[in-house]
């Protein structure tokens, strides 16, 4: 990326945000972490707070903001289903008003903007693996719609800003990502399973556990996000980012139990409404465009995540 830049990371106190900020500071950039601390925590940034190139700003992206920056990363939005469903109207406002405020800021600063979209825009996928050309199959009225439809509206809004105002927008459709700095209690499957085993509790398996997801280790994701921002110009479409190795939740439970040297103990609970049955990214566009592929396999990524949560205890 060349010389040091002034970079805004909205949602920077969250899981992916803190990992991204660490990498940006390591490259000598100045970072403004803007966050309303809904799901992110100051403690996530504690080890970076001494760095004079990091400033932390408590702010909700729903409210307009003004500052001088060279680059914007927008990660602001609760990522875990229980967290984004807790105040669904706020989630929708974050994805629409918040995204518009950041788009306005990017235009004012004539700078590129990254936006974290999601595999959720594909809903219950009609094609497998999911490609960027798929239009998605989302229940517009269900309990996940605040997030899925919010992220779809954000993509539409950002592409209208691109067409109408020339916004330099780079959108990643992020597939399930995991690793250090996930909140132990935010309800996602990998953090839930690991922490349940560490507390000698059974793992909470929703449905029969046959639904699949494809999990990407956070370092690989942070590398891809920055590669997208390093492109000389914005791609014509959003880009899938994720690790295409696909596992059922039963396989995930077995793998976590074996890494923790125990037999898997499960308690079965109802499958949440509209929980997608399968999900796997086609990452050929990212591979071509970014010359990137994930390099951390599940065993190594889970081992590092387990070490992080053990240390947290
Ligand atoms: P996270 O919940 O850990 O972090 C989100 C951060 O945004 C938190 O610090 C939260 O306090 C902040 N935030 C939420 N609403 C805000 C608002 N209105 N104003 C300011 N700050 C706000 O989630 P994450 O896993 O780090 O996800 C980061 C981004 O990536 C999100 O946009 C999410 O939708 C997207 N994403 C994540 C995944 C994943 O598997 N982690 C998958 C797909 C997409
Ligand atoms: N899940 C589960 N037990 C949990 C949490 C989640 O079985 O304690 C399931 C969930 O129903 C989904 C999958 O794991 O099928 C991934 O859930 P997560 O919330 O991590 O991500 P998302 O649903 O957004 O893909």
Report CA(264)–ligand 1 centroid distance (Å).
30
The CATH class of the 6-312 domain is: alpha beta
Helix residue ranges, H only, 57-109? 81-86, 88-93, 99-109
Question: Tens of pLDDT along 52-111?
Answer: 999 999 999 999 999 999 999 999 999 999 999 999 999 999 999 999 999 999 999 999
Ligand nearest to the CA of 253: 2
Question: Where does the pLDDT of residue 2 fall: very low under 50, low under 70, confident under 90, or very high at 90 and above?
Answer: low
For ligand 1, mutation pick of 12, 13, 15 (most atoms within 8 Å of CB): 15
Give 258 or 42, the one with higher predicted confidence: 258
> What's 271's DSSP letter?
P
Alpha-carbon distances, residue 88 vs 60, 94, 123, 141, 149 (angstroms)? 15, 10, 17, 12, 11
pLDDT surpassing 90 at residue 48: no
| Ligand 1 atom with the shortest distance to the CA of 60 | 19
Give the nearest ligand 1 atom to 74 CA: 32
Instruction: Tell me which H or E stretch contains 146.
Output: helix 145-165
Which ligand has an atom closest to residue 251 CA? 2
Section 246-257 average pLDDT: 98
* Protein residue whose Cα sits closest to atom 5 of ligand 2: 189
Tens digit of each residue's pLDDT (9 = 90 or more) over 265-303? 999 999 999 999 999 999 999 999 999 999 999 999 999
Which residue numbers are catalytic?
A: 147
Q: Which of 188, 199, 205 to mutate to test the pocket of ligand 2 (most atoms within 8 A of CB)?
A: 188
pLDDT for 130 equals 98
Tens of pLDDT, residue by residue over 113-152, are: 999 999 999 999 999 999 999 999 999 999 999 999 999 9
275 CB near ligand 2 (under 6 Å): yes
Tokens representing residue 106 in the block: 């990017």
Check if 136 has its Cβ closer than 6 Å to any atom of ligand 2: no
pLDDT at residue 49 tops 90? no
Give the residue extent of every domain in the chain: 6-312
Q: What is the mean pLDDT of the chain?
A: 97
Q: By C-alpha distance, which of 185, 186, 154, 184 is closest to 171?
A: 154
Supply the DSSP symbol for 95.
I
Percent of the chain with pLDDT over 90: 96
How far is the centre of ligand 2, averaged over its atoms, from the C-alpha of 189 (Å)?
5
**CA geometry: angle 254, 258, 262, nearest 5 deg:** 100
For ligand 2, atom 21: residue with the closest CA: 188
């Amino acid at each position: 990326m060349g010389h040091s830049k002034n970079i805004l990371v909205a949602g920077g106190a969250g899981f992916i945000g803190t990992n991204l900020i660490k990498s940006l500071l390591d490259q000598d950039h100045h970072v403004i972490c803007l966050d309303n601390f809904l799901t992110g925590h100051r403690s996530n940034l504690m080890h970076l707070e001494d760095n004079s190139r990091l400033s932390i700003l408590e702010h909700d992206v729903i409210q307009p903001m003004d500052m001088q920056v060279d680059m914007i990363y927008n990660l602001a939005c609760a990522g875990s289903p229980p967290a984004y469903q807790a105040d669904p109207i706020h989630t929708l406002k974050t994805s629409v008003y918040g995204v518009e405020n950041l788009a306005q800021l990017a235009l004012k600063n004539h700078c590129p903007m990254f936006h974290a979209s999601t595999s959720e825009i594909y809903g219950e996928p009609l094609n497998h693996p999911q490609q960027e050309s798929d239009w998605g199959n989302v229940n517009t009225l269900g309990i996940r719609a605040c997030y899925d439809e919010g992220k779809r509206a954000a993509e539409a809004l950002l592409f209208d800003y691109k067409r109408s105002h020339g916004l330099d927008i780079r959108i990643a459709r992020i597939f399930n990502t995991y690793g250090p700095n996930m909140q132990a209690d935010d309800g996602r499957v990998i953090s839930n399973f690991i922490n349940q085993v560490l507390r000698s509790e059974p793992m909470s398996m929703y449905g029969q556990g046959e639904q699949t997801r494809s999990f990407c280790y956070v370092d690989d994701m942070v590398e891809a996000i920055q590669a997208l921002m390093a492109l000389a110009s914005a791609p014509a479409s959003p880009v899938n980012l994720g690790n295409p190795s696909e596992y059922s939740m039963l396989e995930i439970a077995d793998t976590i139990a074996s890494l923790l040297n125990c037999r898997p103990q499960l308690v079965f609970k109802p499958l949440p409404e509209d929980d997608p049955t399968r999900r796997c990214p086609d990452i050929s566009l990212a591979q071509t465009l970014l010359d990137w592929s994930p390099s951390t396999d599940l065993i190594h990524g889970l081992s590092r995540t387990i070490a992080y949560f053990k240390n947290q205890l």
